Amino acid sequence: MPASPAKRSLTVGVLGGMGPDATVDFMAKVLAATPASSDQEHVHMLIDHNPHVPDRTCAILQGDGDPGSVLAGMAKQLERAGADIIVMPCNTAHAFQRDIEAALDVPFVSIIDETVAACSGYEAVGLLATRGCLASGIYDAALSASGVRAVMPDDDETTAFMELAASIKAGDSGPEIGARMLQLANALVARGALAVIAGCTEIPLVLDQSMLDVPLISSTDILAEATVAYALGTRELDNRPQGSTA
């Protein structure tokens, strides 16, 4: 007898290109997290790999550009193409989450919410993220609401982080960049962080768990694992119409 057809998994729309290497890393981690023994058992992903989205940090800090409308348009196109859920492997861009959700009739899975949920049980966590992400307060607010204290980088550390992120985006993910990123993470640990959030998807390109003495909470890995779980139905989605979200 022919085998019974497998249950259809959800099609995932990915808002990508921010940055390009980080999007490829996310896709690879979705593949690695999928319990598949054939092509047909993998997650169907529709990718809008758009590196031309206006700079998110410039928009947050200076009001330059309009990433929200661009991201909303990308998300709607993915929905029209058949995406059942939308994800975005860029932390800073979640400052524009409401713009995206307002355009959608399918669920948007937040990398911020998924990452903060993974911080449960830690009294204090360090946060490595872009200046725009930090200024937006999206992580600080979510961590505070969950009863977790955020250990933030100081201004000099944030400047150093921005330089490292720019180097990674320019293609330098060598050991010197990794060592400097580790120094920033260890500075947060020295100030009381019991774990460190990699709150920028460039970070896992140079920093991994083997380099740290405390848990590294990689937002890329967490979003990839959540994406697979939602797509395959092992976790339940909130199916509220997103356009009705305040």
Residues that are catalytic: 90, 200
Residue 80: count of CB within 10 angstroms of its CB: 9
For 148-232, strand residue ranges (E) read 149-151, 196-198, 216-218
Burial string for 117-152 (b: 16+ CB within 10 Å, else e) reads: ebbeebebbbbbbbbbbbbbebbbebbeeeebebbb
Query: SS3 of 15, please?
Result: strand
Parallel, antiparallel or unpaired: strands 124-128 and 149-151 = parallel
Contact 49, 20 (CB under 8 A): yes
Structure tokens at 92: 């800073």
The owner of tokens 């019991």 is 194
The half-sphere exposure of 25 on its side-chain side, counting CA atoms within 13 A, is 25
Contact 80, 100 (CB under 8 A): no
DSSP element (H, E) containing 22:
helix 20-33
